[in-house]
Amino acid sequence: MRHITQDGLDLICHFEGFSPIIYLCPAGYPTIGYGHLIIEANKEQFLDGIDELEALDLLKTDVQKAERAVLRLINVPLTEGQFDALVSFTFNLGGGALQRSTLRRKVNRGEHSAVPAEFMKWVWAGGRKQKGLVRRRWAEGKIYNC
């Protein structure tokens, strides 16, 4: 199976940020570490917080789901930068967002120059345009075209 590069992981870490304690992400979900979503059944294990190594382990496990979604939904060859950008996007928004997106259709049609503009359509959370998501989507578009 193909995996995200260290540069891709660094991108996710940069935009997710590290939190050793539980917080609510902009969409209102309980989260810890580098964007690890907490389900109610596992909440107790995180009540005392986590360190950065634990957060990186969680991230590496969580990213595998996004990698599998990209591999399943994209049927054209991708450069490392394209794969990293799509995994970052999918990690942030979920495989369903990629599956139903015009972004996916443009990638699969080989319309790579149109992809950065498609990333920029996904900058909303909790009904509000998020400056952090604008920066993230711009960065994903940039590495997609490298």
Q: Are 123 and 27 in contact (CB under 8 A)?
A: no
- Rounded to whole angstroms, the Cα distance separating 132 from 123 reads 8
Q: Where are the beta strands (DSSP E) in the chain?
A: 19-24, 30-33, 36-37, 124-125, 128-129
Q: Which amino acid is at 51?
A: D
- Please indicate whether residue 140 is annotated as part of the active site: no
> What is the rounded distance in angstroms from the CA atom of residue 9 to the CA atom of residue 59?
8
Whole-number Å distance between alpha carbons of 2 and 135: 26
Catalytic residue from among 16, 67, 118, 140? 16
- The catalytic residues are 16
